[in-house]
Amino acid sequence: MSQIALPLDWPAGDKEQDYLISEANQPLIRHFEHWSLWPVMATILTGPRKSGRSLLGRIVTGKAGGELIDNAEEADEEAIFHAWNRAQERRRPLILIADAPPPAWEVRLPDLRSRLAATPVVRIEEPDDDLAGQLIEKLCHVRGLAAPPELVRYLVPRIERSYFGVHRAIDALDELAYEQRQRLTVPLARRALAAVGVIDESQIEA
């Protein structure tokens, strides 16, 4: 499986602390790699669900001694306010994870609103071809499925280019492989993708 550990001087080997990297998310990684240089010791991290945003937040705050507030748009505003101030005093990063930054996320507390307005926002973008291929391999690996290279090459250009789309395709592939007691192959993938409406059934070989 092709995985790249975060390019920080952090221990490797723990699967939960591997984060897949390609050109699509290199700017994001550089931002967190240089957290000690942030003028504001906080970042709002947004991006699609299933993109690994919570994992990335845990990695950064765990290694840097910072704080993480997931689903920040639903969190107590007073708690966020005090965490933001604490981060500036301690010079340790606060990462706020949300589906979208303010003003899409309505903030009622004026003092918090002004602080969040000064807080940088970074976003996890949808995967490129390289990252989609790595994610397919990873999802198959954690399910105990062997993903041959030709299967990955077949799937990448055909599935929806999103984290949700990759997960949806692998869910369908895993379910069909289990039902039919088959290993992962390109013909099996054709049938699985057709079952979830990704490709037309006419594309399936008899």
pLDDT in tens, 141-163: 888 888 899 999 999 998 888 88
**80 in a domain, yes or no?**
yes
The CATH number of residue 35's host domain is: 3.40.50.300
- State which of 94, 123, 152 marks the end of a domain: 123
| pTM for this prediction | 0.79
Number of domains into which the chain is organized: 2
Q: Which residues constitute the domain of residue 81?
A: 15-123
pLDDT, tens digit, for every residue of 9-54?
433 333 444 677 777 788 888 999 999 999 999 999 999 888 889 9
How many angstroms separate the Cα of 149 from the Cα of each of 30, 56, 91, 154? 30, 27, 45, 9
| Angstrom distance (rounded) from CA 121 to CA 159 | 29
CA dihedral angle for residue 127, residue 133, residue 135, residue 137, rounded to 10 degrees: 180
**1 in a domain, yes or no?**
no
| Angstrom distance (rounded) from CA 140 to CA 98 | 27
Pair (171, 194) in one structural domain: yes
Of the two residues 51 and 79, the one the predictor is more confident about is: 79
